[in-house]
Amino acid sequence: MFSKSSKCFSFTVYRDWLYRYSFTNAGLRSVITDLGDGTTMHCWVPKSLKPNKPSLILIHGFGANAMWQYGEYLRHFVPRFNVFVPDLLFFGESSTSRPERTESFQALCVKKLMEAHGVWRMNVVGISYGGFVGYSVAAQFPEAVDKLVLCCSGVCLEEQDMKNGLFKVSDLDEATSILVPQTPEKLRELMRFSFVRPARGVPSWFLTDFIEVMCMKHVEEKKELIAAILKGRQLSNLPKITQSTLILWGDQDQVFPLELALRLKSHIGETAQMAVIKNAGHALNIEKPKEFAKHLKAFLIGPQSCSHSPSIKEQIQKTIFDFHRS
């Protein structure tokens, strides 16, 4: 339970160990999958895939690894779904030597990862940056996604929004310095942006410990991911999706303002519904866990999610996968 850079006890390492224990105890196992071309992805996958259950993939945003963002929610969904919790590229234990940094490439890798585990159809939840990736999965592979949840994910932002003052930050450099914090001061700033009531009086040594464990790897690559989101982005180029979609937002989000949720609802149209959680900021999954879980369960646990029968194509694909696996 010690940090890599010192022999001091690390609360971050200890909490990460607790999350790892809880994921294992929930019936998941940690797997690293080689996708080829220098790309590997880590994912928490079911110890045994249940054919009678639909699949649910939980995609994280910027911050710590995937366990920290979804650890509180496994108990709600593991009994009803085959749950998969991947680390996106350059987070956790996932990486690539390829030059691509777009969410569309992340989405392609997520799809390949699911295929490698014998999953051809899924429900998708994406928080913040994970929503960009989840939206791209739904757009690129419409036959693979049943339901989609986009949580505080500014998919409909445009490059000009930064210049027009929609965001609290003035430019891309300021945004990346906060989203990829390297000092306690920047981490405090991220907390102020993410929470309506951020924790106060957190000592600098505690924040430094978190940064050393969670924020020091792939710093430049993460900055490139953020730049790729914004560069040349126009709403007119955003593909339409037709899946049943829940747009879930905090009413006081300072990272992606509520205006972007309304814009997204209008862009998707009739297949989208929107829920706004009061007195919640960008990190609503941490700040309002009960309300967050309630909305996810109401949307995902319904007749369509729980009664899906594999198509003939899916049965053939699964048979081929099982044959190669054996």
pLDDT value of position 7: 53
Residues whose CB is less than 8 angstroms from the CB of residue 303 and which lie 6 or more positions away in sequence, other chains included: none
- Reduced to 3 DSSP states, what percent helix, strand and coil does the chain have, rounded to the nearest 5? 45, 15, 35
pLDDT value of position 33: 98
How far does the chain reach from its first CA to its final CA, in angstroms?
Answer: 38
Mean pLDDT of 28-46: 97
Measured distance CA(146)–CA(317) in Å, rounded = 18
Q: Does 311 score more than 50 pLDDT?
A: no
pLDDT value of position 84: 98
pLDDT tens across 180-238, in order? Answer: 999 999 999 999 999 999 999 999 999 999 999 999 999 999 999 999 999 999 999 99
Sorted by where each starts, the structural domains of the chain and their CATH numbers stand as: 19-325 (3.40.50.1820)
Q: What one-character-per-residue DSSP string does 81-116 give?
A: SEEEEEPPTTSTT-EESS---SHHHHHHHHHHHHHH
pLDDT value of position 64: 80
Pair of tokens at residue 109: 């890798």
* Average confidence score pLDDT of the chain: 91
Report field, pTM of the whole predicted structure over 0.85 = yes
pLDDT value of position 145: 98
C-alpha distance from residue 192 to each of 161, 250, 265, 281, 291 (Å): 21, 14, 27, 9, 21
pLDDT confidence tier of residue 305, bands split at 50, 70 and 90? very low
pLDDT tens across 85-125, in order? Answer: 999 999 999 999 999 999 999 999 999 999 999 999 999 99
